[in-house]
């Protein structure tokens, strides 16, 4: 008997059910999973407005800027970098490489982020208004580390891609993707810790700053 | 420190009464006195003066009460956790409905745990993960050391995992010559201090910034600072190269999802997200009870977890990791190993303590526990402190090794009120007390007193008579000023305070007298 068999057998005998797990039981489990039952949704989870997203993002120490069109993103990023005294060099996802960065005076590196990069810029799958959360899905052209290693993470989010709740985000994911990506990454503000004397410090192992650029 | 296999003895509810009937009070004053003694000790829950076997909760707790640094830390954290949670919960209407739903979805899986584990395993394997099963801590460590050895792993980065504390994984890896680096700031501090965590969410809550500064100077050889932001940056800088160069990342899992074969981490620092992304091997170490059915169930639970734990509306980072990276992905592990650990959990399945398996490890029960708030986590003597620890530790290490823990409670009930998955923690601690009594694990004096108490409590006439005597004796003992300043055998209690003496008549007598005066002879 393997450890697996012993553990499963113990579970069954403790539950007062003999024998091995039956096909009927597994079918019942799959049928339950397939229903994807949602829990009670509080009021805060029923508002998909960009205003709510912005309000919650700012509560979690993110900053938000809004532009009229996606082509205005480089100028908005330039203003943000200027304001925060950051160098005009960013490492970003390929999906953003085609924007006109040079006119905005920014050097855009289209490659994987390293530990030395100071500003990373990404798109995202969607935003969640309830908690001011950005959802990033990993793929060959959307690596996760851009949002994690640099001290500043700038994320471009479409207003049309703001959903109310995590439940809605999962529904959108099911509609548009065939399976969960390797990393389904929810980001709610810059990294933080309160591990020393319960004193909140912004900037632990991830970014010190998260800046969202809202596009139509 | 590993858990010991064995079974939980079945409860025999009639046993206390049987015992009671077999004991005839031979000396009335003594019985009444012991009853008074028990009223007092139970009411105020002063620890009994009798030492318990094996564990030393009482002695450690006394030392912790006199530890000035710890007391300052506990006072500070108490306000933040309790007030923070209250404010965060108040923002969510339907909170109680969500708790009810969460408890039900956890129960559904636990009642069919074998089938959900099989479904999880199937879906995890389909995404390229390797699923391992370990019956004991030793087996789990052997599996993980084996993975490391086979892949020539020299450095491991770890994100905080209470299961890995439970099985003492770091010791096992280090014994094999592997460098292990804890990356959660609190855990990193404790690794430098060679101390176990004192809280499941805020492991270094007992440390002062001065103590952390001393540890950092010794480890980093940089100028000493007690500025918390500067110390946090220093840890970031020191750990950054560890993150980038580790061969294997070890994480726990807050939950594993059957639907998708996913394991997931919840953090604020971003450390788990690096640990599960950068190294070529990701090893997940988790308990078999962590499985949930669907992504929707996760959405429900994550609405409860950070608000209950730290009063946050959301944890900064949630990473759902599903399988290994595709060939053309730039980041992500080439191997993913998931180690599902029993180590005592199956003992709870189907038992009258199975509610404990719902636990989502938020720490709200300890944050709100008056005992934890005063003695901190180390006094509990094992990985899991507070009310959840007082239930889990006897299960995992044996009640004979954890005798004091179920008794380290005032039974105020706050833990049950704040538990996001409605675990009846006081009831479960009471069950452990009953088992200790049944197995004669409590000291003789206490058991004898309990039996006497039972003899009185189950005989109303005897009880009325006994309390009449006790009230009069205590009244006389109180003297002219009506204060009891000394009780033989209870010096530990009366040294520090006086007790107002009873009026001399019992409530029943006074009630009957009042009734008689107003002309009514029978109670309604």
pLDDT digits (tens, 9 = 90+) for A26-69: 999 999 999 999 999 999 999 999 999 999 999 999 999 999 99
Nearest to B489 by CA among B46, B20, B19, B66: B46
Which residues in B414-431 are b (16+ Cβ under 10 Å) and which e? bbbebbbbbbbbbebbeb
What are the backbone dihedrals phi and psi of residue B129, each rounded to the nearest 5 degrees, phi first? -80, 155
Rounded to whole angstroms, the Cα distance separating B514 from B502 reads 18
Mean pLDDT over each residue of chain A, to the nearest integer: 97
User: What residue ranges of chain A have pLDDT lower than 70?
Assistant: none
**A26 neighbourhood in chain B, CB within 8 Å:** 115, 118-119
Tell me the DSSP string of B182-208.
E-SHHHHHHHHHT---SSSSSTTTT--
Q: Do A131 and B314 touch (CB under 8 A)?
A: yes
Chain B residue numbers touching A201 (CB-CB < 8 A): 228-229, 232
Residues of A whose CB is below 8 A from B111: 15
Which helix (H) or strand (E) is B517 found in, with range? Answer: helix B507-517
Calculated CA dihedral for residues B152, B154, B160, B162, nearest 10 degrees: 60
| pTM attached to this predicted model | 0.88
Closest partner CB to A148 (pick from B233, B273, B326): B273
Chain B touched by A140 (CB under 8 Å): yes
Please list the pLDDT of chain B residue by residue as tens digits (524 residues): 333 333 333 333 333 333 333 333 333 444 444 444 444 444 333 332 223 333 678 888 888 999 998 999 898 888 889 999 999 999 999 999 999 999 999 999 999 999 999 999 999 999 999 999 999 999 999 999 999 999 999 999 999 999 999 999 999 999 999 999 999 999 999 999 999 999 999 999 999 999 999 999 999 999 999 999 999 999 999 999 999 999 999 999 999 999 999 999 999 999 999 999 999 999 999 999 999 999 999 999 999 999 999 999 999 999 999 999 999 999 999 999 999 999 999 999 999 999 999 999 999 999 999 999 999 999 998 899 999 999 999 998 888 888 789 988 999 999 999 999 999 999 999 999 999 888 888 888 888 888 888 898 899 999 989 989 989 998 998 888 888 888 877 777 788 788 888 888 888 888 989 998 887 655 44
Greatest distance between any 2 Cα atoms in chain A:
72
CA B27 to chain centre: 41
pLDDT of residue A81: 98
| CB proximity A201 to B under 8 Å | yes
Q: Using CA atoms, how far apart are residues A36 and A27, in angstroms rounded to an integer?
A: 15
Dist. CA B139–CA B339, nearest whole Å: 10
Kindly determine whether residue B94 and residue A21, on different chains, have CB atoms separated by under 8 Å: no
Binning chain A into helix, strand and coil, the percentages to the nearest 5 are 35, 20, 45
Among A116, A194, A200, A209, which would you mutate to test the B interface (most chain B Cβ atoms within 10 Å of its Cβ)? A194
Residues of A in contact with B319 (CB under 8 A): 183-186
Whether complex ipTM tops 0.95:
yes
Give all strands (DSSP E) within B305-409, no chain letters.
317-321, 335-341
Among the partner-chain residues B114, B288, B299, the one whose CB lies closest to the CB of A166 is B299
A-chain residues within 8 Å CB-CB of B89? none
Of B231, B270, B324, the CB nearest to A205: B270
The pLDDT of residue B488: 78
Closest Cβ–Cβ partner in A196, A198, A207 for B212: A196
């Amino acid at each position: 008997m393997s450890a697996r068999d012993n553990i499963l057998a113990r579970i069954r005998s403790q539950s007062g059910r003999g024998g091995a797990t039956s096909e009927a039981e597994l079918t019942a489990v799959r049928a339950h999973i397939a229903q994807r039952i949602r829990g009670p949704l509080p009021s805060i989870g029923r508002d998909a407005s960009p205003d709510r997203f912005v309000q919650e993002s700012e509560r979690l120490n993110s900053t938000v800027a809004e532009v009229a069109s996606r082509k205005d993103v480089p100028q908005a990023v330039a203003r943000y970098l200027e304001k925060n005294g950051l160098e005009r060099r960013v490492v970003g996802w390929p999906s953003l490489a085609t924007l006109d960065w040079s006119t905005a005076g920014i050097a855009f590196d289209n490659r994987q982020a390293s530990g030395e990069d100071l500003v990373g810029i990404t798109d995202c799958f969607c935003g969640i208004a309830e908690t001011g959360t950005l959802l990033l899905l990993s793929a060959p052209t959307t690596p996760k580390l851009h949002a994690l290693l640099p001290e500043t993470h700038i994320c471009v989010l479409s207003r049309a891609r703001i959903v109310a709740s995590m439940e809605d985000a999962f529904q959108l994911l099911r509609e548009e993707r065939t399976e969960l990506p390797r990393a389904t990454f929810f980001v709610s503000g810059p990294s933080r810790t309160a591990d020393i004397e319960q004193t909140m410090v912004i900037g632990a192992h991830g970014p010190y700053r998260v800046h969202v650029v809202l596009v139509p | 420190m590993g858990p010991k296999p064995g079974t939980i003895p079945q409860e025999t509810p009639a046993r206390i009464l049987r015992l009671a009937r077999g004991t005839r009070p031979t000396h009335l004053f003594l019985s009444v006195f012991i009853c008074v003694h028990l009223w007092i000790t139970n009411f105020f829950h002063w620890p009994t003066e009798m030492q318990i076997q094996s564990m030393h909760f009482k002695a450690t707790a006394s030392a912790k009460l006199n530890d000035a640094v710890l007391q300052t830390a506990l006072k500070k954290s108490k306000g933040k956790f309790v007030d923070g949670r209250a404010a965060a919960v108040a923002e969510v209407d339907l909170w109680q409905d969500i708790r009810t739903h969460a408890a039900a979805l956890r129960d559904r899986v636990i009642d069919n745990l074998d089938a959900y584990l099989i479904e999880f395993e199937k879906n995890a394997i389909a995404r390229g993960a390797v699923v391992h099963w370990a019956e004991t801590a030793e087996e789990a460590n052997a599996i993980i050391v084996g993975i490391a050895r086979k892949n020539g792993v020299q450095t491991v980065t770890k994100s905080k995992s209470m299961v890995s504390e439970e099985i003492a994984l770091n010791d096992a890896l280090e014994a094999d010559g592997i460098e292990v680096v804890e990356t959660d700031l609190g855990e990193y501090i404790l690794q430098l201090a060679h101390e176990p965590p004192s809280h499941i969410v805020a492991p270094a809550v007992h440390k002062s910034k001065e103590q952390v500064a001393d540890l950092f100077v010794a480890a980093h050889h940089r100028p000493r600072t007690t500025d918390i932001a500067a110390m946090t940056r220093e840890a970031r800088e020191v750990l950054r190269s560890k993150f980038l160069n580790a061969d294997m990342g070890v994480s726990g899992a807050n939950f594993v999802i059957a639907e998708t074969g996913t394991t997931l981490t919840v953090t604020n620092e971003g450390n788990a997200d690096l640990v599960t992304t950068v190294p070529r091997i990701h090893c997940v170490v988790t308990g078999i009870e962590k499985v949930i059915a669907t992504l929707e169930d996760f959405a429900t639970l994550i609405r409860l977890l950070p608000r209950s734990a730290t009063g946050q509306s959301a944890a900064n980072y949630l990473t759902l990791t599903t399988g290994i990276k595709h060939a053309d992905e730039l980041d992500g592990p080439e191997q993913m190993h998931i180690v599902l650990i029993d180590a005592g959990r199956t003992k709870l399945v189907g038992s009258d303590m199975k509610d404990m398996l719902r636990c989502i490890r938020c720490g709200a029960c300890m944050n709100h526990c008056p005992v934890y708030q005063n003695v901190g986590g180390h006094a509990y003597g094992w990985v899991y402190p507070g009310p959840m620890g007082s239930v889990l530790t006897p299960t995992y290490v044996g009640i004979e090794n954890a005798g004091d823990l179920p008794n380290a409670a005032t039974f105020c009930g706050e833990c049950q009120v704040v538990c996001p998955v409605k675990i009846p923690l006081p009831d479960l601690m009471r069950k452990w007390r009953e088992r200790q009594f049944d197995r004669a694990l409590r000291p003789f004096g206490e058991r004898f007193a309990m039996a006497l108490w039972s003899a009185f409590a189950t005989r109303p006439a005897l009880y009325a008579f006994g309390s009449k005597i006790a009230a009069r004796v205590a009244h006389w003992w109180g003297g002219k000023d009506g204060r009891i300043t000394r009780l033989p055998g209870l010096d530990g209690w009366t040294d520090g305070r006086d007790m107002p003496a009873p009026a001399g008549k019992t409530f029943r007598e006074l009630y009957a007298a009042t009734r008689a005066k107003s002309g009514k002879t029978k109670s309604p």
